[in-house]
Amino acid sequence: MYFQHIYEEGLAQASYFIGCQKTKEAIVIDPRRDIDVYLKIAEDKNFEITHITETHIHADFLSGARELSAVTDAKMYLSDEGGKDWQYQFDHIGLKNGDAIKVGNIKIEVLHTPGHTPEHISFLVTDTAASDKPIMIFTGDFVFVGDIGRPDLLEKAAGITGTQEIGARQMFNSLKLFKELPDHVQVWPGHGAGSACGKSLGAVPSSTVGYEKLVNWAMKLENEEEFVEKLLEGQPEPPKYFAMMKKLNKFGPTVLGGIPQPAKLTLNQFREALQKGVTIVDSRDKLSFAGGHVKGSLNIQDNSEFSTWAGWMLKYDEPFVLIAYADRVEELTKALVRIGMQNFYGYVSDLDKWADQCHELDTVNQITVNELKEMVSKNGDNIEIIDVRSYIDYSENKIPNSKNIFAGYITDKLENISEEKTKVVYCHSGNRSSIAASALMNSGIKNVINLTGGFSAWEKEL
C-alpha cells in the first residue's frame, strides 16, 4: 500500500492519497480544489486515480472532488447518510454505514460518524495484502489529534437553528464507536492546529486510537450532559465564508479546468478599477502597508492565514484587485480559489510606479504601548481602545477599558464605534489589528491607530 499525507497550511487542511501498489489504482480522500498536487503524485508514482471520496460536505474549503473527477474520470464516492436535507446535489456513488470501497487490495470501510455534520462519514482502511486487521482510520472533522469536531457550525455559520445540541449528542454517540476500534489503528484527521473546525487541535499530524483514548479530553467524559456542555463552550468564531462553502460543496463547485490567471493591470486599468470602487486587497506585510497604501485598501497579509481572512473580509459577488509581489500571485490565487474566491479583476505588483505618478498613498498611524499609556493618562476620555481578538482571548485578559469587537465582525459593528474619539485597535501581535484598521479606514472611519506589537507588547510592559 502506498500512502501520502498532503497538508495545506493556510487552511490547516489535510487530504490523502492511497494507492494499491499491485494494481496501481489510487483513491484521494478530501481533495482540495487546486488538484495539481494529486496529479503529480499519480504521475511520479505511476498510479491511476480511480476513486475520489470525502468525509462530509465541507464548510471551510472548496472541495476538489468534481475538479479531480473531471480530469481523471475517477468515480466520486460520497456520503448518502444524514437524511435528505444533507445530501450532495450532484451525481455520485452514494455511501452508507457499512459499505466498503475496494481499491485493488485495499479495503476502505465506511463508518457513519455524525456530530460535526449529520452526513459525516469516516474511513477505516485495511491493507488486505498484509493483514485482515485495519491499519488506519481517516476521521475528517470527527476526531482530531487532541480534540473533536465542533457541532455548532451549521447553526452559527450556516444559520440552521437548533442543530448544535443535536450535533453534540450525535458526536457523543459516534465517539462510542471510535472507542471500540483497536488501539493500534492510526488516526489521520482532516485538519490540524489553526483550523476553525475545532477549538484545541494538536499540531502533530496523526495519532492512534489508543493514544486519543488516553489524552483526548472528549474521550474522558462519560456523562452526556457534561460532554454536550463542554463541547459547545469556547468554540471560536466561524468565518463568514463557511456558509458559502457549505452551499457550494453541497450543490457542486464549478469545474475550473485549471487555476485562473489574474491579469496584470496597467496603471490606467488600475485607475479605472479604483474609479469603479473595486475592492483592493493589499497582501504586503503590515508595516509596508502602514507606511503607504492605496486609499481604501484592505490589508490581508500574505501569510498562513491569508485564505481565512480573505474569506472573512471579501464578498463572493464583488470583484477585487490583488496587490502582491509578482512571484506570489500564483500561490495567492490558489489560496483564494481554495475558498471559492475567483472574482479577480486583476493584480498590481508595483505600487512605486503608482506613487511616482503623484498618486498620494494613505498611511496607518502606529502607537507603542508606552505612547498609548501616556495618551490615556492625558486624554483618556477621547480614546476608544478596541480589542479585535476573539471573545475567548478577550475574556481571559485585556487592556483596561477596552471593548471587544472581533476583527472579522468589525465592519458589521460600525454603529458601536465612536466617530469623534481616536480609535486604537489591537490584537495579539498586530496582524489582525492591521486588517481591522484597514477595514475601518475603508469604511470611512477616521483617527484610527494601530497598537504596535499588540497585547503581547502590552503584557511585556506590565
Backbone phi, then psi, for 346, in 5-degree steps? Answer: 150, -175
Q: Which residues does 250 contact at the CB level (< 8 Å), separation at least 6?
A: 57, 88, 89
Instruction: Cell numbers for 299, please give them.
Output: 490589508
How far is Cα 139 from Cα 135, in angstroms, rounded to an integer?
13
Q: Which residues does 88 contact at the CB level (< 8 Å), separation at least 6?
A: 57, 78, 79, 80, 250, 252
How far is Cα 451 from Cα 426, in angstroms, rounded to an integer?
5
427: annotated active-site residue: yes
Q: Which residues does 134 contact at the CB level (< 8 Å), separation at least 6?
A: 109, 124, 125, 126, 181, 182, 185
Other CB atoms within a 10 A radius of the CB of residue 363 amount to 13
Strand pairing class (75-79; 48-53): parallel
Query: Cα angle at 441 between 392 and 390, to 5 degrees?
Result: 5
- What SS3 class is residue 432? helix
Instruction: Cell numbers for 232, please give them.
Output: 459547545
**CA nearest 239: which of 378, 408, 73, 51?**
408
Burial of 288-321, coded b for 16+ CB within 10 Å and e otherwise, reads: ebbebbbebbbbbbbeebbbbbbbbbbeeeeebb
Q: Are 187 and 207 in contact (CB under 8 A)?
A: yes
Other CB atoms within a 10 A radius of the CB of residue 430 amount to 22
Q: Which residues does 410 contact at the CB level (< 8 Å), separation at least 6?
A: 388, 436, 439, 440
Task: Just list the catalytic residues.
Answer: 427
